Amino acid sequence: MEQNEYLSPGDTEMHAVLTVTAEGLGGSTGPGVAEAAEVIAIDCSSSMLYPPTKITSARQAAAAAIDALRDGVFFAVIAGTDTAREVYPTGGRLVRATAESRAAAKRAVRVLRPDGGTAIGAWLRLADRLLAAHPSAIRHVMLLTDGRNEHETSKQLDAVLAACEGRFTCDARGVGADWSPQELLRIVSVLHGSADAVRAGEELVADFTAMMRTAMDKVLPDIRLRIRTGQSARLRFVKQVLPTRADLTEFGTVIDPRTTVFSTGAWGEESRDFHVCLDVTRGGAPLNEDVRAARVDLEVDHHGTGGPAVILVRWTNELKLSSVIHPLVAHYSKQTDLGTAMMAGYEAYDAGNVRHAEEQWGRAVALASGLGNAEVLRRLGRLVDVVGEPADGVVRVKSSLSPHDILSSAMVSVTSSRAPQPEVEVEEGPDVVCPNCELVWPPGSAFCEGCRQPIEAAP
């Protein structure tokens, strides 16, 4: 847990960044590996025929994903239009991946024929029904679409997402130029997955192969964050901020007025960062004493877990201490600003407002440069030419932009980068002696870790 615990008596917000690392899980093979269940959902709406390379690439990508299935994994392939139907197997079930079942599934995929509209909620409902027979498995959906969700309302889709949240994870890809970035990002935000724009052809096949391999590396069905606030604190928000950003707040399960549990989806051996914000009041708390504002525990089924993390508040009149924003909190706040600028630039360009797109993408260039977000800079490089220094944030939109690159810029709006390691500056001067407990600290120290007192304010 990383935070600056110091607040002035008039402050009302406490921010902290929690890093969760899953390691030593034993990998995705061996006798103790968790069971997995996979559904591959392929858009078969009429628009997949134009150009014909889209449906051809979709068939090839689905076949590549089937080949990447681990032996013994339960799986199914479904076709999505304004309804959803089972492609392989049939009968409302999943089958185990074997050489025979993979071959049969690929034969069924090769004859997919586009016809109909798009209702992604129907695809997810069918996937949920198929996966429901395997409640203890790591359940995952791979979804490919080329169009907007035109045959159901946003409220209908949101209702499906709310029903599916916590039951399976979903990664989504958009192909072509007519799908909605906002829709795909909404889906994967709720279902704890990733989304991106991919080109038809070899890129789509490679992406589906990599996506399935990543799914096969998941070992834990879920890690849940259990947050219990103190008497003087209330939870404002919980957001995943690395590797991608997703607001978890609205999907928490309230256990009691002070305790909420948040699902984070399936995990392999990886690390993720979460930004927790609390509303706090001082009440009668004394100055210069640690007060527990919240406790965070990890809930992991059938696996060991680390100890709890504690968010502290220490009220102080020392402005030098309370005015400092923790570097990680500042970093992820700027990443949020970067994502907002990227999406605003996309929306402005999509609406024909090139000048506003330049303003927003220029702001994004400046932020991404300062944050070291190389992936955002790479994608922006396809859209704009930088005038002067990147930090100045002045850009000009290139004369000819591909629809794929424009959509790709929107999809990277939720991608975060790790905070760069700051250069350690060694301050010169004499060591500092705490006048309260007489412990010796490096030059420039303003706080004694021994007696937990500000050195300058100690008697």
Tens digit of pLDDT for each residue in 216-273? 999 999 999 999 999 999 999 999 999 999 999 999 999 999 999 999 999 999 999 9
User: What number is the average pLDDT over the span 319-334?
Assistant: 94
Identify the pLDDT of residue 152.
96
> Residue 58 corresponds to which tokens in the numbers above?
């979709």
Pairing between strand 6-7 and 253-256? Answer: unpaired
For position 457, what pLDDT does the model report? 47
Average of pLDDT values for 141-147? 98
For 329-414, CATH gives: 1.20.120.1690
Query: Any residues with CB less than 8 A from the CB of 333 and at least 6 apart, and which?
Result: none
pLDDT for 24: 83
User: Domain residue spans in the chain?
Assistant: 2-22+220-324, 36-216, 329-414, 423-459
Kind and range of the H or E run holding 56? helix 53-67
pLDDT at 450: 63
Distance CA 345, CA 79 (A): 33
2-22+220-324: CATH class: mainly beta
| Residue written as token pair 């030098």 | 320
Residue 458 has pLDDT above 70, yes or no: no
Categorize the per-residue pLDDT at 425 as very low, low, confident or very high, splitting at 50, 70 and 90.
low
Residue 233 CA to its chain's centroid (Å): 26
pLDDT at site 422: 57
340 pLDDT tier (thresholds 50, 70, 90) = very high
- Number of CB atoms found within 10 A of residue 191's CB: 25
48 neighbors 145 (Cβ within 8 angstroms)? no
Confidence (pLDDT) at 443: 78
Q: What is the predicted pLDDT for the residue at 455?
A: 78
From CA 35, how far away is CA 393, in angstroms rounded?
Answer: 49
Rounded Cα distance, 220 and 140, in Å: 12
Name the pLDDT band for 459 (thresholds 50, 70, 90): very low
Q: How far apart are CA 236 and CA 33, in angstroms?
A: 37
Q: What is the mean pLDDT of residues 404-423?
A: 89
- Domain 36-216 CATH class label: alpha beta
Question: Strand, coil or helix: what is 2?
Answer: strand
Distance, CA of 307 to CA of 244 (rounded, Å): 25
Q: Is the pLDDT of residue 434 over 90?
A: no
Residue 380 predicted with pLDDT over 60: yes
Residue range 124-133, pLDDT digits in tens: 999 999 999 9
Confidence of residue 419 (pLDDT cuts 50, 70, 90): confident
3-class SS of residue 417:
coil
Q: What is the mean pLDDT of residues 372-398?
A: 97
Mean predicted lDDT score pLDDT of the chain: 93
Q: Is pLDDT above 50 for 86?
A: yes
Whether pLDDT at 164 is above 70: yes
Non-local (6+) Cβ contacts of 135 within 8 A are: none
List pLDDT tens digits, range 166-196: 999 999 999 999 999 999 999 999 999 999 9
State the first-to-last Cα distance of the chain, in angstroms, to the nearest integer.
31
* Ordered DSSP codes for 152-208: S-HHHHHHHHHHHTTT-EEEEEEEEEES-HHHHHHHHHHTT--EEEE-TTHHHHHHH
How much is the pLDDT for 390? 96
- Which pLDDT score is estimated for 453? 74
Residue 424 pLDDT greater than 50, yes or no: no
Q: For a pLDDT cut of 70, what percent of the chain falls above it?
A: 94
Closest among 406, 413, 347, 330 to 376, alpha carbons compared: 413
| Dihedral, 315, 319, 325, 326 alpha carbons, nearest 10 | -60
**53-67 vs 202-216: helix axis angle to the nearest 10?**
30
Read off the tokens for 193: 């997955």
pLDDT at 33 over 80: no
Is 394 buried (19+), middle (13-18) or exposed (0-12) by CB count in 10 A?
middle
| 2-22+220-324 and 329-414 share one fold | no
For residue 296, give the nearest of 5, 11, 13, 19 by alpha carbon: 19
